Structure 1
Amino acid sequence: MRKEQNSLKMIVLTGLFAAIIYLGIFILRIPIPALVGRPFIHFGNTLAALAVLFLGLRNGVLAGAIGLGGFDILNGYALTSWLTILEVIIVGIVLNAVFKAFGYQDTKRNIILLGITAGATKILTSYCTAIIEALMVGTSFKTAIVASFLSLPATVINSISTAICVPLLYFTFRTVISATTHGSR
C-alpha cells in the first residue's frame, strides 16, 4: 500500500484517518490539571501512529497533522497548533525510521516495540513543547523546565495508552484495511 501514495485509495484513506484522529480526540478527552498548557488524555496520538504505520510517513503524517492540528485550531488551541503539527512530524519520522529498520515487518513483537517507540517519543516531544509554550507566555527558562516536567502526567498516560493501544488496534485495522483493499478487486 505504501507505493501508491497519490492513488485515490490512499487519498481517501488519508482523509479517513484524519477524520478518525480528529474524532478520537473530540469524542473522548479527559482534561488533566497542569502547570503549563491545558493537557488532556485522548486517543489522537495512538491513531496518528497507526496512520504512519498504515499509510507511510508522508500520508500518515499528513493525516495526523490534519486530525491533531485541525482539532487544535478548531477547539481553542490555535496558538500552539504548529507545535502539535511539529510533534506529529517528529513522532512520524521516528516511528517510520524504526519500522524501516524492522524491514516493515509487522510481527507482533515489532508492532509492540513501535507502540512503545511512539509513546516514548511523544513524552519527549510533549516535554519540549511544554517548555516552548511556557516560554511563549513569558516564563523564565528554568521555571519553564520545571513546570513542563510537572505537567507531564497527562502525556505519560497518553503515551502508555499509545504503547498499549497501537498493537491492539494495529492488527484489527490491518484486517479491516486488508479486507477493504482485497474486496475491491
Structure 2
Amino acid sequence: MLRDQQNTLRGVILTGLFAAIIYIGIWMLRIPIPAMVGRPFIHFGNTLTVTAILFLGRRNGMLAGIIGLGGFDILNGYLAVSWLTMLEVVVVALIISGLFKAFSYDDSKKNIAILAIAAGITKIVTSYFASIIEALMVGTGFKVAAVAAFFSLPATVINAISTAICAPILYFVVKRIYTLVQQR
C-alpha cells in the first residue's frame, strides 16, 4: 500500500507506529506453552508483522517487525536469541513481499489470504530451524536438537494459524482506515 512512501515522514511515522503496536501486541497478550526448546508462547506479533509488511511494503514492514519483535525479545529475557527472531522477520518479509510482487501487488482478498497462509508456513519453517540453532547454542547434539525443535512447534503452529486468519482481516481494516483518513 505505502511502498511508494517509504522514505517520507508519513512512512517513518507509520513504521514506528507498527513497531510499537507489534511490541504491545506481544507484551499485552501472550500465553506461554511448554516446550523442549526455548520458552515459546502464543501471541499476535507475527500477525501484526505480516500486516505491517503487506501495508508498508518490504523494507518498512520488515523494519517494524524487527523493531517490534526484536525489541520485545531484547527487553523481555530473550536477548540471546533475539537475532534469530529478527532473522525470521527478514525471511518472512522477503518471501511475502516477493509473492506480493509476483501477484503484481494485487491486494484482492484471495491474494492477501494466500500471502497470510504463506507467511504462516514460512514462520513454522523458520521457527523450526531457529529452535534447532537455539538448542545447538546450549550444547545439544544435532539429532536431539532437531527432534526437540519439532516437539516445540505447537505455539508456532497456533501463531501461524492465527496469522493466516487474522492478517488478512487486519490488513483490510488498516487499509480502510487509512483510506478514510486520506479522504479527509
- Taking structure 2 as the reference length, the TM-score comes to 0.98
Equivalent residue, structure 2, for 1:68? 69
**Alpha-carbon distance between aligned partners in 2 of 1:31 and 1:113, rounded to the nearest angstrom:** 28
Shift of 1:65: 0.1
Matched residue count? 183
Equivalent residue, structure 1, for 2:171? 170
**Alpha-carbon distance between aligned partners in 2 of 1:120 and 1:181, rounded to the nearest angstrom:** 34
Equivalent residue, structure 2, for 1:121? 122
Aligned AA for 1:44? G
Equivalent residue, structure 2, for 1:78? 79
Aligned AA for 2:99? V
**Alpha-carbon distance between aligned partners in 1 of 2:166 and 2:4, rounded to the nearest angstrom:** 26
SS, match of residue 29 in structure 2: coil
Aligned AA for 1:63? A
Equivalent residue, structure 1, for 2:106? 105
**Alpha-carbon distance between aligned partners in 1 of 2:30 and 2:117, rounded to the nearest angstrom:** 21
**Alpha-carbon distance between aligned partners in 1 of 2:132 and 2:88, rounded to the nearest angstrom:** 13
SS, match of residue 57 in structure 2: helix
Identical-residue share of aligned pairs (%): 64
Shift of 1:180: 2.3
Equivalent residue, structure 2, for 1:25? 26
Larger RCO (CA under 8 A, 6+ residues apart): 2
Aligned AA for 1:106? D
Equivalent residue, structure 1, for 2:97? 96
Following TM superposition, the consecutive aligned residue runs of length 4 or more in structure 1 with deviations greater than 4 angstroms are none
**Alpha-carbon distance between aligned partners in 2 of 1:141 and 1:28, rounded to the nearest angstrom:** 33
Contact 2:51 2:168 in 1 (8 A): no
**Alpha-carbon distance between aligned partners in 1 of 2:183 and 2:6, rounded to the nearest angstrom:** 17
**Alpha-carbon distance between aligned partners in 2 of 1:177 and 1:159, rounded to the nearest angstrom:** 26
Equivalent residue, structure 1, for 2:49? 48
**Alpha-carbon distance between aligned partners in 2 of 1:49 and 1:142, rounded to the nearest angstrom:** 32
Deviation per residue, 1:37-59 (Å, 9 max, x gap): 00000000000001111111110
**Alpha-carbon distance between aligned partners in 1 of 2:57 and 2:34, rounded to the nearest angstrom:** 34
Shift of 1:181: 2.9
Shift of 1:33: 0.2
**Alpha-carbon distance between aligned partners in 2 of 1:125 and 1:98, rounded to the nearest angstrom:** 17
Shift of 1:4: 1.6
Gaps of 5+ in 1: none
Aligned AA for 2:71? G
Shift of 1:168: 1.4
Equivalent residue, structure 2, for 1:180? 181
Shift of 1:182: 3.3
1:145 maps to 2:151: no
- Taking structure 1 as the reference length, the TM-score comes to 0.97
Aligned AA for 2:95? V
**Alpha-carbon distance between aligned partners in 1 of 2:104 and 2:86, rounded to the nearest angstrom:** 27
**Alpha-carbon distance between aligned partners in 1 of 2:113 and 2:54, rounded to the nearest angstrom:** 12
Shift of 1:176: 1.0
